[in-house]
Chains A and B, each alone.
Chain A
Amino acid sequence: QQQVKQSPQSLIVQKGGISIINCAYENTAFDYFPWYQQFPGKGPALLIAIRPDVSEKKEGRFTISFNKSAKQFSLHIMDSQPGDSATYFCAASNSGANNLFFGTGTRLTVIP
């Protein structure tokens, strides 16, 4: 059973546009929701994370929106750049970095 469902599977955005990736979860015990960015041939790297006591967190061009009642959270990349082209994974856990459940990933391509 997939603990975290992620969509879309792939996304193509023009340079300067907004990229939006969505995730949904079922386990209400989850209290930590990170997003990881992975470039080909590299391991995932933490991009941004949120806990459910806030509905939004922004770091530079990256924003997480969190909807606790709907059990959904999303990543918004503003002013998308070709260098943002990578695979993005959402994840969730009920104990920080321990036992993270990852989504299936979204392959983002930003066209110049």
Chain B
Amino acid sequence: EAGVAQSPRYKIIEKRQSVAFWCNPISGHATLYWYQQILGQGPKLLIQFQNNGVVDDSQLPKDRFSAERLKGVDSTLKIQPAKLEDSAVYLCASSLDWLQGEKLFFGSGTQLSVL
């Protein structure tokens, strides 16, 4: 079974630039999550999709962060403009279904450094 795929693996940008991350969940998983993991902390949920609809984006800084899952499969997370405090690992995860799923499958993440 293929896991959650994320790219790029690393990204270095300067503050005020924009950046985008891509995620392809496990085939058949209806629910997709984006988490932010700052060094030394646990992952924090940014946004959750069920198919192509947003279930929860209450912790997404909407003035600079946006995400989409247009066809209900892969997803893109964008930051524009980036701030120094956005330096973190951005993890994508998927689960079978938001009502039935308990197990989260995480990708390896994209490590973002904002200089």
Cβ–Cβ < 8 Å partners of A89 in chain B: 42-43
B residues near A (Cβ < 8 Å) are 4, 31, 33, 40-45, 48, 55-56, 91, 93, 95, 98-104, 106-109
Which one of A11-19, A37-45, A64-72, A76-84 is at the interface? A37-45
Count class of interface residues, chain A: 20 to 34
**A51 nearest in chain B by CB position:** B102
Which B residues are in CB contact (< 8 Å) with A34? 102
Chosen A-B contacts, 30 in total, with CB atoms closer than 8 Å, are A4-B42, A34-B102, A41-B108, A42-B106, A42-B108, A43-B4, A43-B93, A43-B108, A44-B91, A44-B106, A45-B106, A46-B103, A89-B43, A91-B42, A96-B100, A96-B101, A97-B31, A97-B98, A97-B101, A97-B104, A98-B48, A98-B55, A98-B98, A99-B48, A99-B56, A100-B43, A100-B45, A102-B44, A104-B42, A105-B40
What is the CB-to-nearest-CB distance from B111 to chain A, in angstroms, rounded to a whole number? Answer: 9
Mask for A72-112, Cβ within 8 A of B = 1, else 0? 00000000000000000101000111111011110000000
Contact between A98 and B93 (Cβ–Cβ < 8 Å)? no
Complex interface: chain A residues within 8 A of B91 (CB): 43-44
Q: Could you list 19 further interchain pairs (A-B, Cβ under 8 angstroms) beyond the known A43-B109, A45-B106, A99-B48?
A: A6-B42, A34-B102, A36-B104, A42-B106, A43-B108, A89-B43, A95-B98, A96-B95, A96-B98, A96-B100, A97-B98, A97-B102, A97-B103, A97-B104, A98-B56, A100-B43, A104-B42, A105-B40, A105-B41
User: Which A residues lie at the B interface, using CB under 8 A?
Assistant: 4, 6, 32, 34, 36, 41-46, 49, 89, 91, 95-100, 102-105
In the bound assembly, the distance between CA atoms of A105 and B42 in angstroms comes to 6
